[in-house]
Structure 1
Amino acid sequence: MTGTISFYLSLIPLLSSIFATTVTSNPIARRAEPAAKPGFNRIWYEDWGHKNGITHNWVFDLGTSYPGQVAQWGTGEIQTYTNKTENIKIVNKVLWITPKKLKDAKGKITWTSGRIESRRGSQWACPDGKKLLVEASIKLGSAGEAQQKGIWPAFWMLGDVFRGQGYKGWPEVGEIDIMESVNGMRQTWGLVHCGIYDGQIPIRGPCNEPDGKGGFIKGIGRGLWHTYGIEIDRTSKNWKTEKITWIINGVRRHSVTGAQINNATAWDFLAHKKMFVLLNVAVGGGFPNGVEPGNALTPFSTTIDGDSVGMQVDWVGVWQQA
């Protein structure tokens, strides 16, 4: 979710260059507690039941950029993030993030939405020789694709050094996109970003920036609960054979290894250093534009707002191998 507009505009060739798998397991038909994880200890958990609500474990990202940093969150998205309940709220212990479309007296349309990140102090690294799991139970909006052009929900992580540097240093700080989906499509992406990208030369560095490395998964049912997660596995104690694996409903989908990144420093940021979690629904920008024919600018006139194009989150958890 963090990066340059050209990153997302370049995703069309990515669709054919990274492998895809199809979800064949049954989706979660109702809200459910996390599955038992033998051999793991839960070290952080959010089920939206705290008396302090969202701010118990999270901070709001507001406006159109981090303070003093790249406009439109670096991706060309057009919404303004707020902490208003029309955009982000808790209902019956479920987080709802809802994009809203506004029209002024002159007919100009603007969008608002919600974005949060785990509080400082809530960031995690996988210890050497162990595994780390990060998962969330998420339901994506069930409206048709024509009504969701430009809608871009995401569950992802950024290297905590990004905050320490004043929200500077992408993609060197490392990014793991656990789940991204655009335009109401029945598929999600799972990618990593790392190394250096100066916005000038496409496809460079250990993570092939601005594309990133990873895969996409087809057949994701909308309007149903799915558990999305990643496992960082450092049990080999050799950075080249360590791996990050994307998991949906308990089924492993695709992985990226240290050897595939082939850069010890970049892999260190991705798999060894602390990361924090983000949840948001963006509107417009390079990614949803880039998967449309001719890189058409989204959202379209057919794009609607409201809960049927938003994202619901039942729980988020972090587990570490005992």
Structure 2
Amino acid sequence: MSPVPAASAAPSTLRRSGRRLALAAAVLATTTALVVASMTAHAAVPPPAAGWNLVWSDDFTGAAGALPSSANWIIDTGTSYPGGPANWGTGEIQTYTASTANLAQDGAGNLRITPLRDAAGRWTSARIETVRADFKPPAGGVLALEGRIQMPNVTGTQAAGYWPAFWALGSPYRGNYQNWPGIGEFDVMENVNGLNQVWGALHCGYAPGGPCNEFNGLGVTRACPGSTCQSAFHAYRFEWDASVSPQQLRWYVDGQLFHTVSQSQVGDPYWGQMTSHAGYFLLLNVAMGGSFPNGVAGATTPTAATVSGRPMLVDYVAVYRRGGTSPSPSPTTSTPPPGGTVDAYGTIQAEAFTVQNGVIVEACAEGGQDIGYLRNGDWARYDNVDFGATGPRDFLARVASGAAGGVSGLVEVRLDSPTAAPIGSFAVGNTGGWQSWISVPGNVSAVTGRHSVYLTFTSGQPADFVNVNWFTFRR
């Protein structure tokens, strides 16, 4: 991984790890940012302007000290994805946690991500990513990603190593970590070392080099308008415009356009690689140290002069769409069932999940599809599963495994959150092959009513250990 050579360069944001491969027109006045952000704190999510639709948002209006909603966000922890490279592949030196000291709503409409240094000099911070991974423009339409953010209020030598970011990654990155930068990365806002600058960048193609000049990316930087990035909230916005040909990517701060990349600059097949998949998930984090701040500083960061405890404040994050037609359901979404519910006691096809983390859909030897390459930390969510007034006695899943000797894990059922305590589970190891299917029962505790059901996968080894074709509950 190459350090960033100068303060004017785009950040090096290589985020890779070792896991298996997974399956220029002018800017139109009507496509500028929806609003010019005021400098008042705790603004509500802006309502959509004429022709736009708000498709997802989080206003962080929870109680003081509360974590962000688990229905909206996954909290990344540690120093890598499971099985991934150390330091998230960027050289950053902090450990991410789910502690409310690092990550919490403040009770006044903001999310705070706070880097902290302990007495031994070790840094902790926080990183979250959206559960949804299907954000993309409708065919012939426009997608907008927007966040109203105040960067950590620290400058000068005390800010060395601070690296706040609001960005998006292509959905195939989940559970792969070898396909960057081909699947695409949109850096809506990045900043380092307390400089009054916002960096916007695109990562694509291949590294090193390629159409996006990796590992730097195609990036531009500018100062925040009016008040500095560190002293006030600003609205950072990214638009992907599929209504023009060639398509355009655009970056704004407080409604002011500062960077544009066209489809023709990227070219084929690289544009298709980053736009033809299911969509993108969003991330918010504050890293400490690493290739980008070190490259800009020309020295290793953070330093002894770096101060602890200056949070990034996030007022809201919102996703808007305009025009076009809705995309077809993708592997990360499913068509709502008739009547809006799923019968817990019917056969639930594993590939019919609503949202997933680390799951790959593949052809199944028994017909149809299964979900595969499942390992520790992966999960799939199935919404509106109705257990009725009388709960099940057990559940049954159709599974297969070609895991190596000594590799096994648990298939678990959880309700309403991927981190809730399991209500049932069974252990599985090698069944004779990844398409050698057997039906395995597991007891479940009493449950009634309608729930989001999570199949989660837990193992003491980092390797894939199971595929799932279908599951059901039995009375």
Quick check: TM above 0.5? Answer: yes
The Cα offsets for residues 15-44 of structure 1, whole Å up to 9 and x where unpaired, read as 7xxxxxxxxx88623332244422111110
* Structural RMSD (CA): 2.0
CA distance in 2, matches of 1:71, 1:244: 31
Aligned to 1:300: 303
Aligned to 2:160: 149
Classify 1:89/1:296 alpha carbon distance in 2 versus 1 (closer, same or farther; 3 Å). same
Report how far residue 168 of structure 1 moved: 2.8
Whether 1:283 aligns to 2:288 is yes
Per the normalisation by structure 2, the TM-score is: 0.58
Classify 1:137/1:269 alpha carbon distance in 2 versus 1 (closer, same or farther; 3 Å). farther
The 8 Å contact of residues 123 and 277 in structure 1, kept in 2 or not, is answered as no
CA distance in 1, matches of 2:269, 2:39: 38
Aligned with 1:47 (options 59, 66, 69)? 59
The structure richer in helix per residue is 1
Report how far residue 214 of structure 1 moved: 2.3
Q: Which amino acid letter does the alignment assign opposite residue 304 of structure 1?
A: V
Aligned with 2:241 (options 224, 233, 236)? 233
SS at match of 2:9: helix
Whether 1:125 aligns to 2:136 is yes
SS at match of 2:44: coil
Q: Which amino acid letter does the alignment assign opposite residue 320 of structure 2?
A: W
5+ residue gaps, structure 2, are 11-35, 324-475
Between stretches 183-192 and 35-44, larger displacement belongs to 35-44
Aligned to 2:270: 266
Aligned to 2:442: none
Whether 1:135 aligns to 2:176 is no
Whether 1:214 aligns to 2:219 is yes
Aligned to 2:118: 102
SS at match of 2:234: strand
SS at match of 1:291: helix
Whether 1:193 aligns to 2:188 is no
Report how far residue 12 of structure 1 moved: 4.9
Report how far residue 68 of structure 1 moved: 0.5
CA distance in 1, matches of 2:313, 2:134: 22
The 8 Å contact of residues 231 and 244 in structure 1, kept in 2 or not, is answered as yes
The Cα offsets for residues 159-212 of structure 1, whole Å up to 9 and x where unpaired, read as 00101x433311111100000000000001000111111xxxx5x101111110
Report how far residue 103 of structure 1 moved: 2.2
The 8 Å contact of residues 195 and 206 in structure 1, kept in 2 or not, is answered as yes
**Larger Cα-atom Rg:** 2
Classify 1:11/1:73 alpha carbon distance in 2 versus 1 (closer, same or farther; 3 Å). farther
Aligned to 1:14: 9
The 8 Å contact of residues 144 and 321 in structure 2, kept in 1 or not, is answered as yes
Whether 1:250 aligns to 2:255 is yes
Aligned to 1:20: none
SS at match of 1:14: coil
Report how far residue 249 of structure 1 moved: 1.1
Report how far residue 144 of structure 1 moved: 2.4
Q: Which amino acid letter does the alignment assign opposite residue 90 of structure 1?
A: Q
Between stretches 90-99 and 178-187, larger displacement belongs to 90-99
Q: Which amino acid letter does the alignment assign opposite residue 318 of structure 1?
A: V
SS at match of 1:253: strand
Classify 1:13/1:29 alpha carbon distance in 2 versus 1 (closer, same or farther; 3 Å). closer
SS at match of 1:195: coil
Per the normalisation by structure 1, the TM-score is: 0.84
> Once the two structures are aligned, what percentage of the paired residues are identical?
38
SS at match of 2:317: strand
Between stretches 167-176 and 121-130, larger displacement belongs to 121-130
SS at match of 1:229: strand
